[in-house]
Amino acid sequence: MSDNTISILDGSTFLVASPNGDIDAGPSQAQGLFYKDMRHLSKWKLTIGGIPLDVLSTDTVEYYYAQHFCVPPTGTIYKNPTISVVRRRFVGDGFVEDLTVLNHGTETEEVELRLEIACDFADLFEVKDALKKKGEFYEAIRERKLVLGYRRDNFIRETLISSSSPITEANANCVIFRITLAPKARWSTKFHVTPVTGETAHQPKFATAAGGAMRRDLKEWIAQAPTVTCHPEAVRIYMRNLVDIAALRFHPDTMSEQFLPAAGLPWFMALFGRDSLITSYQLLPFTPELAATTLRALSNSQGKEEVELTEEEPGRILHELRFGELTHFHERPQAPYYGASDTTPLFLVLLDEYERWSGDTDLVKALEASARAALDWIDHYGDRDGDGYIEYQRKTTLGLDNQCWKDSWNSILYHDGTLAKTPIAVCEIQGYAYDAKVRCARLAREVWKDEAWASRLEVQAADLKQRFNQDFWIADRQFFALALDGDKKKVDSLCSNIGHLLWSSIVDDDKVQAVRNHLMSPKMFSGWGIRTMAEGEGGYNPIEYHNGTVWPHDCSIIAAGLARYGFRKDASEIVAGIFEASLFFQSRLPEVFAGYERSKTHFPVQYPTACLPQAWAAGAPMLGIRTLLGLEPKGDVLTSTSDPVLPYWMGTLSVESIPGRWGRANVIAKGDDSKVLTMKQIFEQALTRRVDLGEEELAA
């Protein structure tokens, strides 16, 4: 989210406001109170004497709690206000706002406090696309509560608003308090804002005992996570992103006691198969319980039949689940939507990796049928033409054109910038499928006790690797094709996808060095991270969503892949880049940022609509720490690399109490503590290093 908004969230509930606490949502703006994909407040605007408040200070003290300190403007710098307003708000299901007005002066003040209220009940897709509503709005007073409602056939949503202090005057659009404040006196009220879905009112958690439980849960979440010790700023990045993951957790409807991560604020506060799987993978050394819940939830919703609208197929793992109006009336397919071709192999990758870390064979045994169905999907529904590769082509015009992680409509481009023809077989998905079969062969042999199946999977994986290295390799450019198009023509643009091939280990040894050289070249490595598309490609644009930007999660996967093939110094440089970038985003990583060369901007440039917080971006530093230390389970022992390469400014890096099948383990990598720098020195040295590089390039 933008720096000029303040966000607090709790799972499927989030509130986005201006720094002074006001909500005044315009077209395509994500301000408001949202609950389960619908906006339950679009205006919540406080004035004194009809004048909006100036903000003094604001902060999100915890992810679900914000404070806004405000004053009415005096109109001149020579007169200080005598009235101040404090807005303290807690979100969770609905939200609670404690509003306090203080008179700091020596005279009695007559104050007219006006709160303008509105609700457009916009589906999140309507917010994004500025669509008009098709139902009817209504207002009422019910049991001393203001009721704002919306009805379309059998789809009903309401927002209930109440105040603990008597309201002087009220109508459907505002409430007014006229108060007399003696010198040094204060006045306060508490608002409860309750969303209603159908006939169910969802009481704000901080109006019940659940509010205290939220605070205890956050303390326990932090206490149970491993302790990271290194440069203080890197520790701060770790903690900031750990709390962001806590904020994005939510309960699946069928699993009320367990959490999994939503994708990101504001557009993706829902179950996303790909995002939840990758985030859970990134966090295995820190919070492995997320992986178990993610696997169970996705298994429960695994495809059972063929449905054109939702692109469901037997064995397929879902892409996205929504609860808003447009999905209710089948005007969007996300109820749930299965149009992703990487989620199914990634489900299998996480299943094996979770077992390697946790030793939880009971879950693996319980999900054997789901694993078999997923592997069957890879071989049949995924491979649409029988050529041994997973292809995708949407079945409905409401679906996604591209069903890989770069799922924007224009992400699969040739070198000259033209769009690839569907059906498309994207390179990294073949790597995921290879990895899935290798991993499931291990599970079949060791857990499911099916030796014949394990052998078949190993043969299939070896055959896939051999064919892939032949069919996708572009000999004259020395990298793998981004994809094969509908005519089996190689899509020849240079993109970050090839880094995922190292992560899945599908790359033959004789091609690894060339892949590494491309990834670390100035065309791809911006200094902050790996660009999604190389500078110089026909479709390159440093501010195009998937064609030149830098995605922290993408970088973390590429760094892990480079380290897997022994390029630990390169991996360290990428991890250092994303850590250093996060310092410019208040120690948290956005979903994506622009791909400008570091030497030309000196700071990472924001992408205008990036989610923040975003789950797999918050997971990127966690996978980065794992990569720096080389953490790998070997049976019941956690191992680490004997030759760690740490960022030059980090000093010694240790992680204590890493959970796993070994109980809890401590790992330390000795850095050069004499070179531990202040943040000023980090900026100066990193900037000088990149500026010198840029000047050499310009001179050349």
**Per-residue pLDDT tens over the stretch 470-511:** 999 999 999 999 999 999 999 999 999 999 999 999 999 999
At residue 685, the pLDDT reads 60
Strand 65-71 and strand 83-92: pairing?
antiparallel
pLDDT band at 12 (very low <50, low <70, confident <90, very high): confident
Strands (E), 231-386: 249-250, 260-261, 271-272, 320-321
When pLDDT is averaged across residues 309-316 and rounded to a whole number, the result is 97
At residue 694, the pLDDT reads 38
As a whole number of angstroms, the distance between CA 308 and CA 370 comes to 22
Is the model's pLDDT at 148 over the cut of 50?
yes
Tokens of 567: 């390029």
Q: Which residues 6+ apart lie within 8 Å of 270 measured at CB? A: 12, 37, 262, 263, 320, 321, 322, 323, 334
Q: Which residues of 338-348 are buried (b: 16+ CB within 10 A; e: fewer)?
A: bbbbbbbbbbb
Percentage of the chain modeled with pLDDT above 90: 78
Is the model's pLDDT at 545 over the cut of 80?
yes
Q: Rg (Cα) of the chain, in Å, rounded? A: 26
As a whole number of angstroms, the distance between CA 377 and CA 537 comes to 34
Q: What are the DSSP calls for 286-326, one per residue?
A: T-THHHHHHHHHHHHT---S-BTTTTB-TTPPPSEE--SHH
pLDDT band at 256 (very low <50, low <70, confident <90, very high): low
When pLDDT is averaged across residues 17-21 and rounded to a whole number, the result is 94
Domains 6-212 and 225-693 share a fold: no
Q: Quote helix, strand, coil % in the chain, to nearest 5.
A: 35, 25, 40
- Give the architecture (CATH level 2) of 225-693: Alpha/alpha barrel (1.50)
At residue 132, the pLDDT reads 86
Amino acid in position 688:
T
When pLDDT is averaged across residues 50-58 and rounded to a whole number, the result is 94
The domain locations on the chain are 6-212, 225-693
Backbone angles phi, psi at 237, to 5 degrees: -60, -45
Tokens of 445: 């042999």
Rounded alpha-carbon distances, angstroms, from residue 20 to 17, 50, 113, 402, 438: 8, 15, 15, 40, 54
- Cβ atoms within 10 Å, residue 697: 12
When pLDDT is averaged across residues 566-587 and rounded to a whole number, the result is 95
Q: Which of 492, 177, 124 is nearest to 322 (CA)?
A: 124
pLDDT band at 206 (very low <50, low <70, confident <90, very high): confident
Tokens of 535: 């500078």
At residue 692, the pLDDT reads 40
Of the two residues 323 and 638, the one the predictor is more confident about is 638
Percentage of the chain modeled with pLDDT above 70: 95
HEC letters along 46-98: EEECCEECEEEEEEEEECCEEEEEEECCCCCCCCCCCEEEEEEEEEECEEEEE
pLDDT band at 679 (very low <50, low <70, confident <90, very high): low
As a whole number of angstroms, the distance between CA 429 and CA 78 comes to 64
As a whole number of angstroms, the distance between CA 235 and CA 699 comes to 38
At residue 129, the pLDDT reads 81
Beta-bridged to residue 61, according to DSSP, are none
- Give the architecture (CATH level 2) of 6-212: Distorted Sandwich (2.70)
pLDDT band at 648 (very low <50, low <70, confident <90, very high): confident
Q: Is residue 27 reached through a cis peptide bond, with omega within 30 degrees of 0 on the bond before it?
A: no
Is the model's pLDDT at 698 over the cut of 60?
no
Per the document, the length of the chain is 700
At residue 61, the pLDDT reads 75
When pLDDT is averaged across residues 533-541 and rounded to a whole number, the result is 97
Is the model's pLDDT at 677 over the cut of 90?
no
**Cβ 442 vs Cβ 352: under 8 Å:** yes
- Cβ atoms within 10 Å, residue 265: 25
As a whole number of angstroms, the distance between CA 666 and CA 661 comes to 13
Is the model's pLDDT at 209 over the cut of 90?
no
Angle between helices 552-564 and 273-282 (to 10 degrees): 50
